Amino acid sequence: MPKNEASENVTADDVAVAAGVSRWTVNRAFKKDASISPMTREKVMQAASQLGYLPDLRAAALASDKSNLVALLVDDFANPHKLVMLERLTRALRSRGWDTLLVNTLNAEDAGPAIANASQRRVDATILIGIQFDDEVLAAALGARRLQKLIIFARTSENPNTISIAVDDAAATREIAQYVLDRGYKRPFYFAGPRTVSAHLMRKETFLAHWLKHTDQTVPSMSAPSYDANIAAEMVGHQFANQQETTRPDIIVCENDALAIGTIDAIRHQLGLRVPEDIAVIGFDDVPLAASPNYKLTTYRQPLTAMADYLVDVLEQSESKDMTRTFHGQLITRDSA
Amino acid sequence: MPKNEASENVTADDVAVAAGVSRWTVNRAFKKDASISPMTREKVMQAASQLGYLPDLRAAALASDKSNLVALLVDDFANPHKLVMLERLTRALRSRGWDTLLVNTLNAEDAGPAIANASQRRVDATILIGIQFDDEVLAAALGARRLQKLIIFARTSENPNTISIAVDDAAATREIAQYVLDRGYKRPFYFAGPRTVSAHLMRKETFLAHWLKHTDQTVPSMSAPSYDANIAAEMVGHQFANQQETTRPDIIVCENDALAIGTIDAIRHQLGLRVPEDIAVIGFDDVPLAASPNYKLTTYRQPLTAMADYLVDVLEQSESKDMTRTFHGQLITRDSA
DNA sequence: ATCAATCTTGCACGCGCGTGCAAGCTCTTT
DNA sequence: AAAGAGCTTGCACGCGCGTGCAAGATTGAT
């Protein structure tokens, strides 16, 4: 029979016998920074690769109570920016030895069960990158303590039991507002996303406040039920149909690029107007499509790579106190505003 | 002290004591279709929820050698269609009790390690939804047997040790080709994606063959290095700059929507032409953006939900023989062609 | 009231590896 | 050449739960 025919279930014991050492030495060989002589390790690794052995991470997690696994809860797959975030996060995590459990929060009621589910896998941390995670969900999550760390990614959170890694929304929005002022726009309109958590309103509130302070005028606005370009397009088309040039806005400031892209489509194809000549548009996120020759969207780019790297720093930290941190991004000016 | 203050590490034993039963009865209570009286189960569940107990899935996986976990290997986050696939797959999986390990294949050389990584988590199946998984990678994956099932999703594969769940590419492409013929286009151009695996060339080959057979003419083509709209736009702008109306194509058939969207952008903004009047465009996938008023892309929609459901069927099957299956989608005709 | 058929419950053993310590070993220092 | 100092290796015990069987409890029919 072939040498490694019965490679069904090779354990460290098998390798130990083959290499003439104890099982513990085998596992040491696979552990970085373990106390083992180079010669022995080489011998073990050779036997291991011959038998096709790789340590069982389930057992390791069970024994050490450390899984090197994080859960990523997502509930908003309509927003293309989520794909970028997923890429950056999984890249940073995996390149530093962490695995990712992707949990689709099926619907509003499912957030609780989704978190419970992750906790049953005994993940070392739970990362929320969705939007529907309102205060109740957070409370439930914090209650089901087991998920050692609760990290809110790319969203600020004022909950003290939570670690938030995000751009400074207020500063970013002020920069945007100032840009709008500086370029001489007179009648801005703010297009917000779903208003589930108070923190999510920060961008809108900041913009309105800034504008009021500098021009003494209020800014009209509306909210989309989700960050979906097609829905945004419908709303914009509906909202500004048959409006006079003097009453319609000269710029629509969108809470993110998904809304901005829908807005541009609607301005051009439903209102029959030009961007930016008739109505300018600003977004937030700098999704790949924002750079396309079609949209040339002026938007705000978050330092996602740095944020993802910092997230792994947080994971590797034993203490989770005072880990919340905000970053600064940059306004990318293109042709749309 | 509070009642459940020390809810650090509640195990089935703790619940057993609280409920006055054995540990095994506790675990039975959490297992569907287990032999347990309703009264006992109720009693156990009450004690469990009071203590905040939930079974440890690591231990369960270790003991039963069944993890209810699948690995999803992705290497192409530039294609927006991936986000749709992720949503559909995680939805189908989670709603039927499966968890998903999202593995970002960092680069071409990382495919092997990524698969090994997944196998160390002892996943019940590995699902490939990327493109760079060429024959060598497949061989390596099959070698590292441990990932019981190797499923290629949304791509056909002729490898007999693999389970492929995809649309019938040949039939779909013939339908597209026939549509192009029927609409009277004369000078098609085929825009393909990365040519890594032989199977990936099927769409292009099929289109070319169909056209040759029906018109006796060959179709020019080119290949993008990745499914990225911005790169596609550049390539199209470069390829057709300064071409006469009589020599340039009257329709560009794209291997998928990412390429098609870039193509439309380039036609309009770099070539200064109209879609579909000057050059028509056809895609494949029906990404959300394809329906936007800006693109109105004629494209081919895969029955992703049915495919994802079938994937879970496959997982729940003990035998993995002859599970490969192809589906039929439909051509969605919009304005772009 | 009795017996068999059915339901419910308890349990020994194992899944594969980590932890922390102690014994064995090698090498340097005087 | 002998004694520490530092390096390597081995091991008992435990992580939390599943499997399969056997004992105990319950039910219905006779």
pLDDT in tens, B37-86: 888 888 889 888 888 899 999 999 999 989 999 999 998 898 999 999 99
Query: Residue A139 domain-assigned?
Result: yes
Q: What is the mean pLDDT of residues A30-54?
A: 86
How far apart are the C-alpha atoms of A58 and A34, rounded to whole Å? 20
What confidence category does residue A244 fall into, taking pLDDT thresholds of 50, 70 and 90?
Answer: confident
Could you tell me the CATH number of the domain that includes residue B295?
A: 3.40.50.2300
Q: What is the mean pLDDT of residues B209-223?
A: 95
φ, ψ at A51 (rounded to 5°): -90, -10
Q: Which of helix, strand or coil describes residue B310?
A: helix
Query: Which stretch of B1-10, B90-99, B147-156, B231-240 has the lowest confidence by average pLDDT?
Result: B1-10
Find the farthest-apart pair of alpha carbons in chain A and give their distance in angstroms, rounded. 86
Q: How far is CA B92 from CA A106, B89, B108, B154, in A?
A: 10, 5, 29, 15
A277-297, pLDDT tens digit by residue?
999 999 999 999 999 999 999
B120 and B106: one domain? yes
Contact B50/A at CB under 8 A:
no
Where helices occur in chain A by DSSP H, the ranges are 12-19, 23-29, 38-51, 57-64, 81-95, 111-120, 135-143, 169-182, 202-215, 229-239, 257-269, 304-316
Query: Tokens 């057993």 belong to which residue?
Result: B16
Helix (H) or strand (E) holding B179: helix B169-182
Helix (H) or strand (E) holding B120: helix B111-120
- CA-to-C1' distance for A155 and C16, Å? 40
Mean pLDDT of the residues in chain A: 89
A180 and A290: one domain? yes
What confidence category does residue B335 fall into, taking pLDDT thresholds of 50, 70 and 90?
Answer: very high
A40 and A80: one domain? no
A149 and A248: one domain? no
- Percent pLDDT > 70 in chain B is 91
Between CA A19 and CA A26, with CA A20 as vertex, the angle to 5 degrees is: 60
Query: Residue B109 domain-assigned?
Result: yes
Query: Residue A337 domain-assigned?
Result: no
What confidence category does residue A156 fall into, taking pLDDT thresholds of 50, 70 and 90?
Answer: confident
pLDDT over threshold 50, residue A7:
no
The whole-angstrom distance between residue A224's C-alpha and the CA centroid of its chain comes to 20
- CA-to-C1' distance for A28 and D10, Å? 12
A129 and A238: one domain? no
A61-108, pLDDT tens digit by residue?
999 989 999 999 998 898 999 999 999 999 999 999 999 999 999 887
What confidence category does residue B194 fall into, taking pLDDT thresholds of 50, 70 and 90?
Answer: confident
Q: What is the mean pLDDT of residues B2-27?
A: 76
B268-293, pLDDT tens digit by residue?
999 999 999 999 999 999 999 999 99
CB A101 within 8 A of CB A118: yes
Q: Count the alpha carbons within 13 Å of A15 in the hemisphere toward its beta carbon.
A: 28
Nucleotides of C under 7 A from a protein CB: 7-12, 14-20
Helix (H) or strand (E) holding B304: helix B304-316
Query: Residue A3 domain-assigned?
Result: no
Contact A4/B at CB under 8 A:
no
B129 and B87: one domain? yes
Q: Which 160-219 residues of chain A approach strand D with CB closer than 7 Å?
A: none
Query: Residue A288 domain-assigned?
Result: yes
B128: DSSP letter: E
B278 and B225: one domain? yes
Query: Residue B184 domain-assigned?
Result: yes
B290 and B178: one domain? yes
Please tell me which residue, B199 or B253, carries the higher pLDDT value.
Answer: B253
- Percent pLDDT > 90 in chain A is 63
Q: Which nucleotide is nearest to A62 (CA to C1')?
A: D15
A163 and A308: one domain? yes
Q: What is the mean pLDDT of residues B210-226?
A: 94
Query: Residue B17 domain-assigned?
Result: yes
Could you tell me the CATH number of the domain that includes residue A49?
A: 1.10.260.40
Amino acid (1-letter code) at residue B249 = P
Query: Tokens 């936007």 belong to which residue?
Result: B292
pLDDT over threshold 90, residue A139:
no
Q: What is the mean pLDDT of residues B16-34?
A: 88
How far apart are the C-alpha atoms of A113 and A141, rounded to whole Å? 10
Specify the pairing of strand A125-128 against strand A163-167: unpaired
> Omega into B2 within 30° of 0, i.e. cis?
no
- Looking at residue A5, what is its pLDDT? 35
- Looking at residue A260, what is its pLDDT? 97
From the CA of B209, how many Å to the nearest CA of chain A? 33
Contact A230/B at CB under 8 A:
yes
Q: What is the mean pLDDT of residues B225-251?
A: 92
How far apart are the C-alpha atoms of B100 and B67, rounded to whole Å? 11
How far apart are the C-alpha atoms of A258 and A281, rounded to whole Å? 12
CB A254 within 8 A of CB A283: yes
- Looking at residue B130, what is its pLDDT? 73
Find the farthest-apart pair of alpha carbons in chain B and give their distance in angstroms, rounded. 86
CB A224 within 8 A of CB A235: yes
Chain A and chain B share a number of CB contacts under 8 A equal to: 159
Q: Which nucleotide is nearest to A14 (CA to C1')?
A: C16
Query: Tokens 């099982």 belong to which residue?
Result: A23
- CA-to-C1' distance for B63 and C14, Å? 8
Numbers of helices and strands, H then E, in chain A = 12, 12
Query: Residue A78 domain-assigned?
Result: yes
Q: Which domain holds residue A188?
A: 169-301
Burial tier of B104 (Cβ tally within 10 Å: 0-12, 13-18, 19+): buried
pLDDT over threshold 60, residue A3:
no
Between chains, do B292 and A144 touch, taking CB under 8 Å as contact?
no
B280 and B246: one domain? yes
Q: What is the mean pLDDT of residues B150-176?
A: 90
The dihedral through the CA atoms of A290, A296, A299, A302 has a sign that is positive
Between CA B247 and CA B254, with CA B253 as vertex, the angle to 5 degrees is: 125
Contacts of B18-24 with CB under 8 Å at 24 or more apart are B18/B47, B18/B50, B18/B51, B19/B43, B19/B44, B19/B46, B19/B47, B19/B48
How far apart are the C-alpha atoms of B63 and B56, rounded to whole Å? 11
Instruction: Give me the helix-helix angle, B81-95 and B304-316, nearest 10°.
Output: 40
Mean pLDDT of the residues in chain B: 89
A163 and A311: one domain? yes
- Percent pLDDT > 70 in chain A is 91
Number of domains present in the structure of chain B: 3
pLDDT over threshold 60, residue A227:
yes
- Percent pLDDT > 90 in chain B is 63
pLDDT over threshold 80, residue B267:
yes
- List the 124-183 stretch of A: residues with Cβ below 8 A of B: 143-146
pLDDT over threshold 60, residue B4:
no
Chain A: residue nearest B101 by CA? A101
Burial tier of A60 (Cβ tally within 10 Å: 0-12, 13-18, 19+): middle
Amino acid (1-letter code) at residue B292 = S
A188 and A215: one domain? yes
